[in-house]
């Protein structure tokens, strides 16, 4: 199978040109066709010589693909299904909101983190997505050129897939690529400390940390990652960086009835975040099968927000989008689809 050209960084394209004995300047020309002109094939790259296009075609293809399924919510949110390598699938969510248009992209097939409240975690982990497969989610939806923001909050833990993530962030922000401002990009993490340190050192994109409880013992019950990467250690890392300028730091906090929604929890959260220039996004829980958790009442949700705001924390309540098509926070999963495909394959084999 031919290698994917789309998703290569400029340095990778330069190496390809050296390997194929093409002129050095051809790498910038290829990048221009890939990321600015949306070429559909190598043959469209008309400022490359016919000979050089033939060389590329022998081993490479763009390897872009359209989504295999589209579902639209009553609120205008659109969920796309993409086929990726190994017979797997991932979901991507487009969220229009007046002048903003956000795409929530996936970085893995499933997830290793197994958070109790997340359908992706219940699916388990199957594969890392390549830079090609992540960027294809942005390129290949009909709304691609309307996008104002992208958030790495879909399936998977982005910082557990560092190789592909940092390739994609480079291509999105570099002048040879899409030339986006880092302020248009947010990467979400459960607090994967090795990846977090690299991200903070190498990127100016916004950061969102999933916390969901300020109490370590309680957090570990719903987020097993607390054992490997305690939230207090995550906070200590974050305190070493400056978030008062371009880069924004936010904490994601889903409220569960009777678990983490008391004023005591709000007070402990304020104490934990006191030394950070940050904001808190409160999120309504969307119930998933087989999990004995319930969303907090609206009264507790607003009381929690008001307490944080009164203590000087910028706090917002995230609007739920796409719940009716299982596109809201924590609801992405392709497990049922993968099982159906396996069953169909088994029937065909018989």
Catalytic residue among 17, 91, 157, 278: 91
Decide if 72 is catalytic.
no
Catalytic member of 205, 278, 315, 329: 329
The whole-angstrom separation of Cα 281 and Cα 308 is 11
DSSP 8-state class, residue 295: B
d(CA 89, CA 342): 13
Q: Which residues pair with 90 in a beta bridge?
A: 82
Contact 319, 102 (CB under 8 A): no
Strand pairing class (88-97; 279-284): unpaired
Kindly provide the residue ranges of all beta strands, DSSP E only, lying in 85-214, ordered along the sequence.
88-97, 100-104, 108-110, 125-128, 149-152, 185-189, 206-210
Helical pair 231-238 and 193-202, crossing angle rounded to 10 deg:
10
104 in Cβ contact with 77 (< 8 Å): no
Measured distance between the N- and C-terminal CA atoms of the chain, rounded to whole angstroms: 29
Task: Kindly state the tokens that stand for 248.
Answer: 């924004």
As a whole number of angstroms, the distance between CA 49 and CA 309 comes to 61
Nearest to 155 by CA among 130, 200, 125: 125
HSE (CB half, 13 Å, CA atoms) of 188? 20
User: Is 133 annotated as catalytic?
Assistant: no
The answer for 137, left when phi > 0, alpha when psi is -120 to 50, beta otherwise, is alpha
67 within 8 A of 92, measured Cβ to Cβ: yes
Q: Is 236 in contact with 275 (CB distance < 8 Å)?
A: no
CB atoms within 10 A of CB 66: 13
Q: Which residues are catalytic?
A: 91, 329
């Amino acid at each position: 199978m031919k290698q994917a050209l789309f998703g290569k960084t400029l340095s990778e394209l330069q190496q390809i040109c050296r390997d194929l004995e093409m002129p050095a300047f051809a790498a910038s020309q290829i990048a221009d066709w890939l990321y600015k002109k949306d070429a559909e094939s190598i043959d469209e790259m008309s400022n490359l010589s016919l000979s050089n296009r033939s060389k590329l075609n022998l081993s490479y293809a763009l390897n872009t693909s359209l989504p295999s399924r589209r579902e639209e919510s009553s609120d205008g949110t659109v969920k796309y299904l993409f086929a990726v390598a190994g017979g797997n699938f991932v979901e991507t969510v487009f969220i229009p909101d007046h002048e903003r248009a956000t795409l929530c992209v996936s970085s893995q097939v499933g997830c290793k983190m197994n958070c109790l409240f997340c359908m992706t975690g219940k699916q388990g982990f199957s594969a890392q997505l390549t830079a090609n497969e992540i960027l294809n989610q942005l390129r290949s939806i009909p709304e691609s050129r309307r996008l104002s923001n992208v958030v790495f909050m879909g399936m998977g833990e982005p910082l557990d897939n560092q190789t592909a993530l940092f390739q994609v962030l480079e291509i999105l922000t570099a002048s040879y690529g899409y030339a986006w401002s880092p302020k248009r990009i947010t990467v979400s993490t459960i607090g994967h400390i090795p990846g977090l340190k690299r991200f903070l050192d190498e990127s100016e994109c916004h950061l969102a940390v999933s916390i969901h409880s300020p109490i370590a013992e309680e957090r570990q019950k719903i987020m097993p990652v607390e054992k490997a990467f305690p939230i207090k250690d995550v906070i200590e890392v974050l305190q070493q960086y400056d978030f008062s300028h371009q880069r924004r730091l936010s904490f994601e906090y889903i409220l569960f009835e009777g678990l983490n929604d008391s004023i005591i929890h709000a007070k402990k959260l304020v104490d934990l975040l006191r030394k950070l220039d940050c904001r808190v996004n409160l999120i309504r829980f969307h119930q998933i099968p087989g999990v004995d958790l319930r969303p907090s009442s609206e009264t507790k949700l607003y009381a929690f927000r008001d307490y944080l705001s009164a203590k000087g924390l910028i706090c917002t309540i995230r609007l739920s989008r796409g719940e009716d098509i299982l596109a809201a926070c924590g609801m992405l999963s392709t497990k049922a689809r993968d099982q159906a495909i396996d069953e169909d394959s088994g029937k065909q084999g018989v």
